[in-house]
């Protein structure tokens, strides 16, 4: 059983389109991180959200943490080929010794 479910698993869109990817769980997390991973590299942190209902913006990327701190979404506006990559969400549960639980990721391809 995957603790964090990400959807969709694969997404292929044209440059300029908008998209949203989701990260859902039945568990409550004290914080949730979004990472982007490129082939052959390690995950690179994009954002951390800690408060239920929190919205953070990073240029064309908007991250939202659900009110109950069980889910999150990442919205990209006017996607560009440079946005191509594997987007991972990872949650930290209270009392878990700070270990991160990862979803399987959404593989995004933005075609020129």
Partner 1 sequence: NAGVMQNPRHLVRRRGQEARLRCSPMKGHSHVYWYRQLPEEGLKFMVYLQKENIIDESGMPKERFSAEFPKEGPSILRIQQVVRGDSAAYFCASSRTAGDTQYFGPGTRLTVL
Taking the complex as a whole, how short is the minimal distance between the CB of residue 32 and partner 1, in angstroms? 13
Between 56 and 104, CB nearer to partner 1:
104
48 touching partner 1, by CB under 8 A: yes
Cβ(37)–Cβ(46) below 8 Å: no
Between 42 and 112, CB nearer to partner 1:
42
Between 94 and 111, CB nearer to partner 1:
94
Between 50 and 78, CB nearer to partner 1:
50
Distance of CA 105 to the CA centre of its chain: 8
98 touching partner 1, by CB under 8 A: yes
Residue located via tokens 């998209």 = 19
CA distance 71 to 16: 26
Which two three-digit tokens encode residue 59? 């240029």
Closest CA to 36 of 112, 111, 96, 107: 107
Q: Which of 41, 51, 53, 68 binds partner 1 (CB under 8 A)?
A: 41
Describe the chain by its helix, strand, coil percentages, rounded to 5.
Answer: 5, 55, 45
51 touching partner 1, by CB under 8 A: no
For binding to partner 1 (CB under 8 A), which residues are involved?
A: 2, 4, 33, 35, 40-45, 48, 88, 90, 92, 97-105
């Amino acid at each position: 059983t995957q603790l964090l479910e990400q959807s969709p698993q694969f997404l292929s869109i044209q440059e300029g389109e908008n998209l949203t990817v989701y990260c859902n769980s039945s568990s409550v997390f004290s914080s949730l991180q979004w990472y982007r991973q490129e082939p052959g590299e390690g995950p690179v942190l994009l954002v951390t959200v800690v408060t239920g209902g929190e919205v953070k913006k990073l240029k064309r990327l908007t991250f939202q943490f659900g009110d109950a701190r069980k889910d999150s979404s990442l919205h990209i506006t006017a996607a560009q080929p440079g946005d191509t990559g594997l987007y991972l969400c990872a949650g930290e549960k209270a009392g878990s010794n700070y270990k991160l639980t990862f979803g399987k990721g959404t593989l995004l391809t933005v075609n020129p």
